């Protein structure tokens, strides 16, 4: 999570079980909040654009992304997992 004070907090136990592109996605998502604000969808989009541009998020990583989010119902700030992944795929594909 990003605290709005220039710090991000990551759960190493959660990250340990993820493939590298997903680890980097979570770091980029939290960093994205400093560029786009509190909007979760915008932070996801920022992370996807950075991951694509820097080459650490290849298209085949979306399979792991879909598995990670498939059962996530979402909440007030986040769309459901499948919609969230669809949004990220759209950002990744946009240019």
Domain boundaries, the chain: 12-93
Q: What is the pLDDT of residue 82?
A: 97
Whether 57 contacts 93, CB under 8 Å: no
State pTM to two decimals. 0.91
CA distance 95 to 90: 10
Name, in order, each residue with C-beta under 8 angstroms of 21's C-beta and a sequence gap of 6 or more. 51, 56, 57, 58, 61, 64
Bridge partners (DSSP) of residue 2 are 8
For the segment 45-93, what is each residue's pLDDT rounded down to a tens digit?
999 999 999 999 999 999 999 999 999 999 999 999 999 999 999 999 9
């Amino acid at each position: 999570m990003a605290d709005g004070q220039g710090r991000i907090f990551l759960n190493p136990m959660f990250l340990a079980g993820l493939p590298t592109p997903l680890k980097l996605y979570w770091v980029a998502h939290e960093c994205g909040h400093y560029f786009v604000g509190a909007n979760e969808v915008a932070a996801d989009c920022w992370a996807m654009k950075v991951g694509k541009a820097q080459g650490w998020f290849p298209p085949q990583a979306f399979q792991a992304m879909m598995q990670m989010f498939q059962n996530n119902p979402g909440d007030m700030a986040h769309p459901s997992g499948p919609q969230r992944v669809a949004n990220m795929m759209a950002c990744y594909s946009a240019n």
